Chain A
Amino acid sequence: MKLKKGIPLIDQGNKLGFWGGKFGGNFVPETLKKPIEDLEILFNKLKRDKKFIKERDKYFKNWIGTPTRFIKLENLTKHVGGAQIWSKVVSDANGGAHKIYNATVHCLLAKRSGKKIICGDTGAGYAGKMLSMAAKKFGLKCKIFMGVKDIERQQPNVKAIKKNGAEVVPVYSGSQTLVDAVSECMRFWVANCDTTAMCVGSTVGPAVFVRICGWSTSQISRELKVQLINEFGSIPKKLKLYNCVGGGSSSFGFWNEFMDLNKKQCEFIGVEAGGPAKSKKHAAPLTYGSKIGILHGAAQYVNQDSDGQIEETESISAGLDYPGISPLHCFLKDTRRARYTAASDEEALSAYKLVTKFENLRPSLEPSHAFFVALKEAKRLSKDTIVVVNSCGDAYKDRGILEKRLGKKYVKSN
């Protein structure tokens, strides 16, 4: 299994949509074959269409707000005393997280295909919030599927979705989290694919959804590349890019432009959700060596039992609380281009405390996982190493959890 240079990773799958011959694919009910094929044709055409790219860039610039900041975390760098610690503040984007890129592109595609309704899944509520924003902007009716457990723990985003005029469909089945929301959303699409477009909220699902999402979030690394060159004159010789990984959309987007660089120059570190320190449950299929299986239409490493039943996950962070992982990341793991590790709930909270103590930045619980590992490793790295953490979400949505776990002061003071 090998990565090819000079070809975008999203286009390195084979004819049936498998990366490395075994990750991804289209394990879907017959009914979805045609809508997926239609979407593939449309996407393959539009991603080469200069007018479409121009339109995308216009909305990215004027509506989402590009580029998001690239800042040095001076105080943390001093405190840690090792590598230089920087952050790409993707939470600057309209809506407060990277999910806006994928949502915008899906709405643009839906418009082109003449669909009037768009449905989507959400865990942390960001994918849902952004899709509802984009749907409103582009005049589409919007339905968001969300597990009941997530509705409870991510209220600020639920409110935002409703405010944007979208319908929130509570999902009661299974573990009542993201995995069930994706299933229910796919079921809705099976029954309504003639009138409705579907947006999968991460780089998961049938191959075309993995590709569209990866293509959309790659905006992050396009910006970062320019910013790095502006700041350092060229891409630093020792660069480490830390990102949390749930489904894998923000990390893929954060890394994509640097894919062809030698990993000694630019290392990718993906941080999965290890769950509560005392629990055996986790959302870290790559770190803990889960077996390959099929979830939501794609072959991937996934938490499952010996019979192939998908296992329940546990994480403080709703956005990472998913038993599977993007086929792109499975491919990056097996080709050893990226390294994956996990941080526990408690470790993420401690990193959140540290970052907010020293910096005027408040990463949500998802990137707090990445911050934990980055800060831990930065200590041992040389001063000329550039560590960049993607702060891909804002902690506003986590107010309730942060107040409960850390006390009021961590919510108020920020």
Chain B
Amino acid sequence: MSNPISIAFKKAKEENRPALLTYTVAGDSTKKQSLNILKSISKNADILEIGFPHNTPVADGSQIQTSAYRAIKNGIKLNDIFKIVKDFRKLVKDKPIILMGYYNMIFQYGENNFLNKCKASGINGLIVVDLPWPENKVFAKKCKKKSIYFIQLLSPTTTNKRLKEIIQNSHSMNYFISMLSTTGGKLKVSPNEILKKYRKIKKLNPKKDIVIGFGITEKTIKKLKSADGLVVGSTICKEITRSLKSGQNPVTNVDRLVKKLKNKIK
């Protein structure tokens, strides 16, 4: 049986478009609301990335930090996050879900315990921001045993030697960070340049699905549509913040935004 993540990429390819990956923070701004957001955007998103918020995020910009602090302030715990995913799974069976966060929370939960919970709640992939190669070797193997993809991150600073090593040891999907930036930064390199690097990585093993993330907005998404997948995170978090500030419903606003993003890459 294939991992639903791979099925999603295959389906997008058949439709001649990149897969759309959305990132939202679990529990932003409440548990119920974040579940409702996931439900509504799952119509248009191909893969849902769900962040488990940490209060000392060293790679996140202000938009995602704001979302994370909001969720933590409202009392979100890892167990609540598993519950959100489980509840979502009852309604939407086959939509791939990737959890994304920082290693300390996994470490405190216990790696095995964490993975068992992931499996039981229907999580298909994991991104751990601060557990790079080769530090993630052991954990990635554990993920594989549970048929959960451990998604490796690649960056413009990743050396060729590392790229080869990481790709070779990676599971089916990898994540290319478009530029030197925290999440939510303005795109400071041209889409062409990003795609050039992307193609170089892709060549190392064309079978691996590679998504591009960081700096992807309504404005930039179309220009990168030749990638296997594109991740939009900060733009969505920003929309939640904006909606809350102006007393509007984040669920409908985020739904509308994701639909627009999807239309741009069709």
Binding stretch for chain B, among A48-56, A154-162, A224-232, A307-315: A307-315
A410 to nearest B CB, angstroms? 36
Q: Is the CB of A29 within 8 A of B58?
A: yes
Assuming the A-B contacts A29-B129, A29-B153, are A307 and B180 also in contact, with contact meaning beta carbons closer than 8 angstroms in the complex? no
Binding site for A on B (CB under 8 A): 54-61, 65, 69, 72, 77-78, 102-109, 129-135, 153-159, 162, 177, 180-182, 185
Q: Is the CB of A173 within 8 A of B58?
A: no
For B154, list chain A residues within 8 Å (CB). Answer: 30
A114 to nearest B CB, angstroms? 16
Q: Which 5 A-B pairs have the closest CB atoms?
A: A308-B108, A308-B105, A34-B157, A294-B104, A31-B155
Assuming the A-B contacts A25-B135, A28-B130, A173-B65, are A191 and B158 also in contact, with contact meaning beta carbons closer than 8 angstroms in the complex? no
Please report whether the interface of chain B is mostly helix, strand, loop or mixed according to DSSP.
loop
Assuming the A-B contacts A27-B135, A35-B157, A194-B180, are A308 and B109 also in contact, with contact meaning beta carbons closer than 8 angstroms in the complex? yes
For A190, list chain B residues within 8 Å (CB). Answer: 58-59, 180-182
A175 to nearest B CB, angstroms? 9
* B128 nearest CB neighbor, chain A only: A27
Pick the residue among A35, A192, A310 that contacts B55 (CB under 8 A): A310
* B132 nearest CB neighbor, chain A only: A30
Assuming the A-B contacts A29-B130, A30-B132, A31-B177, are A294 and B157 also in contact, with contact meaning beta carbons closer than 8 angstroms in the complex? no
For A192, list chain B residues within 8 Å (CB). Answer: 180
A351 to B185 alpha-carbon distance, docked (Å)? 48
For A87, list chain B residues within 8 Å (CB). Answer: none
Q: Is the CB of B56 within 8 A of A179?
A: yes
* A191 nearest CB neighbor, chain B only: B181
Q: Is the CB of A173 within 8 A of B180?
A: no
A291 to B108 alpha-carbon distance, docked (Å)? 9
For B157, list chain A residues within 8 Å (CB). Answer: 30-35, 193-194
- Name, among B57, B58, B60, B65, the residue most crowded by chain A CB atoms within 10 Å (CB to CB): B58
A378 to B134 alpha-carbon distance, docked (Å)? 49
- Given A30-B157, A296-B58, list of 10 further CB < 8 A pairs? A30-B158, A31-B155, A35-B157, A173-B69, A179-B56, A183-B58, A187-B60, A191-B185, A293-B107, A310-B104
Pick the residue among A34, A174, A308 that contacts B159 (CB under 8 A): A34
A408 to B151 alpha-carbon distance, docked (Å)? 59
A279 interface residue per 8 A CB criterion: no
For B132, list chain A residues within 8 Å (CB). Answer: 26, 28-30, 33
For B72, list chain A residues within 8 Å (CB). Answer: 309
Q: Is the CB of A30 within 8 A of B185?
A: no
Q: Is the CB of B181 within 8 A of A174?
A: no
A16 to B59 alpha-carbon distance, docked (Å)? 21
A-B contact pairs, 18 of them (CB 8 A): A29-B129, A31-B59, A31-B156, A33-B132, A34-B159, A173-B65, A179-B56, A187-B59, A191-B180, A191-B181, A194-B180, A294-B103, A294-B130, A296-B58, A308-B107, A308-B108, A308-B109, A309-B55
A259 interface residue per 8 A CB criterion: no
A143 to B56 alpha-carbon distance, docked (Å)? 20
B70 to nearest A CB, angstroms? 12
For A33, list chain B residues within 8 Å (CB). Answer: 132, 155, 157-158, 162
A203 to B178 alpha-carbon distance, docked (Å)? 32
A29 to B57 alpha-carbon distance, docked (Å)? 10
Q: Is the CB of B181 within 8 A of A307?
A: no
Assuming the A-B contacts A192-B180, A306-B108, are A34 and B56 also in contact, with contact meaning beta carbons closer than 8 angstroms in the complex? no
A180 to B181 alpha-carbon distance, docked (Å)? 18
Q: Is the CB of A295 within 8 A of B153?
A: no
For B54, list chain A residues within 8 Å (CB). Answer: 308-309
Assuming the A-B contacts A174-B56, A183-B56, are A191 and B182 also in contact, with contact meaning beta carbons closer than 8 angstroms in the complex? yes
A186 interface residue per 8 A CB criterion: yes
Q: Is the CB of B56 within 8 A of A296?
A: yes
For A307, list chain B residues within 8 Å (CB). Answer: 77-78, 105, 108-109
Encode A266-291 as 1/0 by CB contact (under 8 A) with B.
Answer: 00000000000000000000000001
For A308, list chain B residues within 8 Å (CB). Answer: 54, 104-109
A30 to B158 alpha-carbon distance, docked (Å)? 7
A376 to nearest B CB, angstroms? 34
* A172 nearest CB neighbor, chain B only: B62
